[in-house]
Chain A
Amino acid sequence: MSEEREIQEEQLRAVRTGHGANCSSIGSVIDTLFATATVGAAVFAAIVAALKREPVKVVGKDEA
């Protein structure tokens, strides 16, 4: 375990929003690309807040 610190936005390499529900090819939300910097910052801030708030569960043990 590491010591808990504040997560910085630059530590988020990528953010994929929404669920998407197509079964044939993978999709990505694109309209956010054209959003204002303020809107973009709000999305990232909300995600950083959620990362700190939610309990942690680790998956993919078959992969480790």
Chain B
Amino acid sequence: VIIRYEPWGAWVKLETQAAIVALDRDGVRALGLDGGRAWEGTATRESAPIEVHMAVTARCGAGCEGCYIDARPDGVEPPRETLERELDALAGAGVFTVAFGGGEPTTREDLDVLAEAAISRGITPVLTTSGLGLTDARVEKLRRFAQVNVSYDGTGETYAMVRGFDASAAAERAIERLAAAGVRVGVNVVLTRASFPRVDETLARARALGACEAQLLRYKPAGRAASLEYLARRLGGEQARSLGPTLRRLAATVCADGDFHVRIDCALVPFLSADESIAANPEALARWGIFGCEAGGALAAFTVDGKVAPCSFARSSGLDATSLSSHAGDPELARWRAHVAAPPEPCASCSLRTVCKGGCKVVASYVKGVHGPDPECPRVLDAAGVRAS
């Protein structure tokens, strides 16, 4: 196990199975260990992230309408040595997982070297790709990644309605190629008003192609998606409220045999407040390690220009990625954490508060112009007397 002491105990990453565990102090002591300085006095230091999303290029020719970093064919690409120094900073902070993204990361010729560089520093590398142009030669460079996710929002027109063009066949080929090569492969499914009704079909198709997992993603207004189109593409109010039943149904169908899993991203957690059963048992969500907004907390992002951001969708702070160990003193990261620590109503009295952490601040900033409660959360809408539409 890989252990990182925290004031409350320790984060523990298992090496023989894919799991990260938050163990309390007694649990750590039961391993014969002691937190030392991290446990001294009433230590309340800010924790470093356990997962960092690293943009390894801003280059991409796909031209997705909703690209959150506005990647382009002539986007910048940092030299490997720069990224290796950033990996040093991750190792120093005790980060467990690095997710390489972009841009299209497979445009880099040195991905295999970067994966090895992460592994040699004790960090688990994973990667997201569009799958476009993923040749067998490029698949070979992905073998050292613990998992590769292919962006796959659905078949044919569903894919096109999310991204503006239909490359679903290429994404499907990529899933099949990766699975055939023995690379653990998942899919990222962006939920929009158009893709949500077909999510069952999309996940069944992904599984049939060889995927072992699907991560459902909320559509977010960042990069090219920060336009009025966002309002037409985001989930409808009733769709958001039906997330809980939808997940329950997926668990009972495509996940029933335990060989395929569904993830939700941090920004979808507020929608669970509309599900009475889930909202009544936040302890279960916490116990299964469900993360809401962890921007600036358990999560951080490294931008392509080498800065730390609270998450991939947020503006970067002034902190250099290579100085991640100074994260506690960065005012922008502190601002994000402060909101989570003391959110205003209606978040303050929400049963899911400690898990959800106030919903997506990127959405709040775009839709309402404030770093505040998620304006698309069913509970926030109810509190404001807004009917679902």
In-complex Cβ contact of A61 among B19, B23, B31, B92 (8 A): B92
In the docked arrangement, what's the CA distance between A6 and B17, Å?
20
- Interface contact A11-B284, CB-CB below 8 Å: no
In the docked arrangement, what's the CA distance between A21 and B32, Å?
32
- Interface contact A17-B31, CB-CB below 8 Å: no
Interface size on A, residues (CB 8 A): 51
List residues 13-64 of chain A with CB under 8 A from any CB of chain B: 13-35, 39, 46-47, 50-64
Interface size on B, as a range, is 35 or more
In the docked arrangement, what's the CA distance between A21 and B148, Å?
6
In the docked arrangement, what's the CA distance between A28 and B127, Å?
16
In the docked arrangement, what's the CA distance between A60 and B15, Å?
17
Majority DSSP secondary structure for residues of A touching B: loop
- Interface contact A64-B263, CB-CB below 8 Å: no
- Interface contact B21-A4, CB-CB below 8 Å: no
In the docked arrangement, what's the CA distance between A62 and B266, Å?
27
Q: B124 contacts the other chain (Cβ, under 8 Å)?
A: yes
**A-B residue pairs, 10 tightest by C-beta:** A60-B94, A23-B101, A11-B27, A16-B289, A21-B126, A27-B263, A62-B92, A21-B149, A4-B32, A2-B29
- Residues of B with Cβ closer than 8 Å to A? 1-5, 8-9, 12, 14-24, 26-34, 36-38, 45, 47-48, 51, 53-55, 68, 91-94, 97, 99-102, 105, 122, 124, 126-128, 145-149, 184, 186, 188, 213, 215, 217-218, 220, 247-248, 250-252, 255, 258, 261-267, 278, 284-291, 294, 298-299, 311-313, 325
